Amino acid sequence: MLFVNLLIGGLGLGIYGFFKKDANWNIASITMTQVAKVSFSLAIVFGVAPLLFTQIIYDGPWYTANNLSASWVMAFIPILIVSYYMLYVFYFKNKLGAKKSTAIFPILSILLVVAAGGIMHIFSYQELFPEKWVDWYTSNGTTMNTDGWNIYAFNLPRYLLFLLLSFFITGMFMTIYSWYYRNREDKDQEYLQWFAGKGYKISLISGILTFIDALYYFSSAGIILHPLILMGLVFILGNIVSIYLSRNNLVNFSRLNGVLGLISILSVSIMRETVRFDTMQKFNSSIYDYKTNIDSLAPILFFGTLVVGGTLITYMLTLAYKSGKAKEQYAGDQDETIKKQWNFSVFIYLLYISVFIGTGIIIISKNYF
Same domain, 2 and 148: yes
Check residue 231 and give its pLDDT.
95
C-alpha torsion sign, points 235, 259, 191, 36: negative
What residue type is 271 in one-letter code?
M
Same domain, 234 and 183: yes
Same domain, 148 and 236: no
Spatial contact of 238 and 156, defined as CB atoms under 8 Å apart: no
| The last residue of a domain, from among 228, 259, 292 | 292
281-335 pLDDT, tens digit each: 888 887 788 787 777 777 888 888 888 888 998 988 888 888 887 777 777 778 8
Same domain, 345 and 325: yes
Same domain, 193 and 231: yes
Check residue 262 and give its pLDDT.
93
**Long-range contacts, 73-76 (Cβ 8 Å, 24+):** 73/119, 73/123, 73/148, 74/148, 75/119, 76/116, 76/119, 76/120
Q: Which domain holds residue 331?
A: 297-368
Q: What is the distance between the alpha carbons of residues 203 and 188, in angstroms, rounded to a whole number?
A: 22
174-211 pLDDT, tens digit each: 999 999 988 888 888 899 999 999 999 999 999 999 99
| The last residue of a domain, from among 154, 169, 198 | 154
Kindly compute the dihedral angle of the four CA atoms of residues 329, 331, 332, 337, in this order, to the nearest 10 degrees: -120
- Which residues does the chain have with pLDDT short of 50? none
Same domain, 286 and 320: no
Same domain, 30 and 57: yes
Same domain, 251 and 115: no
Check residue 100 and give its pLDDT.
87
Check residue 332 and give its pLDDT.
74
Check residue 368 and give its pLDDT.
78
Pick from 216, 105, 106, 210: which is nearest to 166 by CA?
210
Give per-residue burial for 245-270: e unless 16+ CB within 10 Å, then b. Answer: ebeeebbebbeebbebbeebbebbee
Centroid of chain to Cα 189: 29
Q: How many domains does the chain have?
A: 3
What residue type is 345 in one-letter code?
S
Q: What is the distance between the alpha carbons of residues 23 and 117, in angstroms, rounded to a whole number?
A: 32
Centroid of chain to Cα 318: 21
Check residue 229 and give its pLDDT.
95
Check residue 106 and give its pLDDT.
94
Expressed in angstroms, the distance from the first to the final Cα of the chain is 47
Same domain, 145 and 7: yes
Spatial contact of 194 and 200, defined as CB atoms under 8 Å apart: no
| The last residue of a domain, from among 224, 257, 292 | 292
Spatial contact of 71 and 52, defined as CB atoms under 8 Å apart: no
Pick from 125, 16, 1: which is nearest to 65 by CA?
125
Q: Residues with Cβ < 8 Å from 312, sequence gap 6 or more?
A: 345, 349
Same domain, 172 and 256: yes
Q: What is the distance between the alpha carbons of residues 276 and 54, in angstroms, rounded to a whole number?
A: 11
Length of the chain: 369
Same domain, 75 and 141: yes
Torsions phi, psi for 10 (to 5 deg): -65, -45
Same domain, 114 and 13: yes
